[in-house]
Structure 1
Amino acid sequence: MLLEMDNIQKTYGDFTLNCSLKLQSGYITGLIGTNGAGKTTLFKSALGLLTLDRGEVKIFDKPFSQLSLKERQDMGVVLADSGFSGYLTIQDIARIMKNMYQLFDQDRFFKKCRESGLPLNKRGKDLSAGMKARVKVLAAMSHEARLLILDEPTAGLDVLAREELLDSIREYMEPGDRSILISSHISTDLEQLCDDLYLIDHGNIVLHEETDVLLGSYGLLKVTEEQEQKLDKRYILRRKKEAYGYRLLTDKIGFYRESQPEIVMEKGSVDEVITMMIRGERL
Structure 2
Amino acid sequence: MIVQMKDVKKHYKQFELDCTMEIQSGRITGLVGQNGAGKTTAFKAVLGLISTDGGEITVLGKNPSKLLPSDKTRIGVVLSDGGFNEYLTVKNVASVMSAFYPDFDKMNFLQRCDRSGLQQDKKIKDYSSGMKAKLKVLAAMSHDTDLLVLDEPTAGLDVVARDEILDMLRDYMMDGERGILISSHIATDLEGICDDFYMIHEGKIVLHEETDVLLSEYGVLKVDEETYAKLDRQYISQVKKETFGYRCLTKNKQFYLENYPGIVVENGNLDEVILMTIKGERI
Q: TM-score, normalised by structure 2?
A: 0.97
Do the aligned residues in 2 keep the contact of 1:130 with 1:155 (CA within 8 Å)?
no
1:214 has 2:214 as partner = yes
Is residue 243 of structure 2 the alignment partner of residue 239 of structure 1?
no
RMSD: 1.1
Offset at residue 155 of structure 1 (A):
1.5
Superposed, 1:1-283 pairs within 5 Å as: 1-283=1-283
SS at match of 1:174: helix
8 Å CA contact 1:221, 1:248 repeated in 2: yes
Distance 1:13 1:180 in 2: 30
C-alpha deviation, 1:116, in angstroms: 1.7
Structure 1 residues 41-70: Cα deviation after superposition (integer angstroms, max 9, x where no partner): 110011011111111210112111222322
Distance 2:105 2:142 in 1: 6
- Percent identity of the aligned residues? 55
Residue 237 of structure 2 aligns to a residue in which SS? strand
> For residues 223 and 54 of structure 1, what CA distance do their matches in structure 2 show?
44
Task: Kindly provide the CA deviation profile for residues 58-111 of structure 1, in whole angstroms up to 9, marking residues without a partner as x.
Answer: 011211122232221111000001111122211111011112112211111112
Unaligned runs of 5+ in 1: none
Task: Spell out, residue by residue over 1:239-269, the C-alpha distance to the aligned partner (whole angstroms, 9 max, x if none).
Answer: 0111111000001111111222222111011
2:43, 2:274 → 1: CA distance?
20
Distance 1:75 1:238 in 2: 38
Q: Cα deviations across residues 149-174 of structure 1 (Å, max 9, x unaligned)?
A: 01111113221111111111101100
- The offset of 1:32, in angstroms, is 0.9
Give the residue type in structure 2 aligned to 1:206. Answer: V
For residues 250 and 26 of structure 1, what CA distance do their matches in structure 2 show?
29
Query: Structure 1 residues 78-87 or 213-222, which shifts more?
Result: 78-87
Letter in 2 for 1:275: L
Alpha-carbon deviation of 1:130? 2.3
